[in-house]
């Protein structure tokens, strides 16, 4: 398993959004849900249209088995509203082209992200990049590491900082000014 990074640059996020929106609406919405919710891909893929009609996602986390409720941001709500129009409540949000009503798999989600990452020349990308990107930008905007720790169900703030790459940012900046 490779270590993946968050997408730190807002311009790169915009470029990926633009790329995905132009290619495939499902893949665009998948990216938006990931970077705006902080949910794991294993909790995003089983979402159904009915889940997107509420003002929040209420799920039982696949990994931890804990109940979790995440408010849907106003911008994500607007995008979801258009996307789910005409779809039935029981349909998966990220429906596969294979089968009658099956969600795409984790490997397809990875391929979607990998293709978008290649388009913007990004390395260290995986499905966890979406969750880490949410965490990185949540922290940058709020500076509330305790809240992010709670959202992610991490046992310590240091784990959360390492997870979202804040420690890496500090090391990278320190090395820029280092010389012998």
Give dist(CA 24, CA 27) in Å, integer: 5
The active-site residue, picked from 19, 26, 40, 136, is 40
How far, in Å, are 8, 37, 88, 170 from residue 138 at the CA level? 11, 10, 32, 17
User: Which residues, listed in sequence order, are joined to residue 59 by a DSSP beta bridge?
Assistant: 68
Our answer to whether residue 40 is catalytic in this structure is yes
The active-site residue, picked from 63, 97, 143, 179, is 63
10-130 maps to CATH 3.40.367.20: no
The active-site residue, picked from 26, 48, 128, 161, is 128
Our answer to whether residue 53 is catalytic in this structure is no
Our answer to whether residue 131 is catalytic in this structure is yes
Q: Dig out the tokens for 167 from the structure.
A: 């420690």
One pLDDT digit (tens) per residue for the chain, 180 residues? 568 999 999 999 999 999 999 999 999 999 999 999 999 999 999 999 999 999 999 999 999 999 999 999 999 999 999 999 999 999 999 999 988 899 999 999 999 999 999 999 999 999 999 999 999 999 999 999 999 999 999 999 999 999 998 877 777 887 888 888
Our answer to whether residue 87 is catalytic in this structure is no
Our answer to whether residue 63 is catalytic in this structure is yes
Helical H runs in 38-165?
A: 41-44, 49-52, 74-84, 106-119, 128-142, 145-152, 157-164
């Amino acid at each position: 398993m490779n270590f993946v990074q968050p997408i730190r640059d807002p311009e790169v996020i915009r470029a990926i959004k633009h790329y995905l929106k132009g290619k495939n609406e499902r893949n665009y919405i998948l990216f938006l849900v990931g970077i705006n919710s902080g949910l794991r891909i294993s909790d995003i893929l089983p979402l159904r249209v009915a889940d997107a009609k509420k003002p929040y996602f209420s799920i039982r986390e696949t990994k931890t088995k804990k109940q979790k409720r995440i408010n849907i941001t106003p911008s994500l709500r607007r995008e979801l509203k258009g996307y789910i129009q005409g779809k039935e409540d029981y349909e998966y949000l990220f429906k596969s082209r294979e089968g009658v009503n099956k969600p795409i798999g984790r490997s397809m989600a990875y391929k979607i992200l990998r293709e978008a990452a290649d388009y913007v020349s990004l390395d260290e990308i995986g499905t966890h990049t979406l969750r880490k990107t949410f965490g990185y930008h949540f922290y940058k905007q709020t500076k509330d590491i305790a809240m992010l720790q709670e959202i992610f169900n991490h046992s310590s703030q240091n784990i959360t900082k390492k997870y979202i790459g804040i420690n890496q940012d500090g090391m990278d900046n320190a090395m820029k000014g280092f010389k012998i």
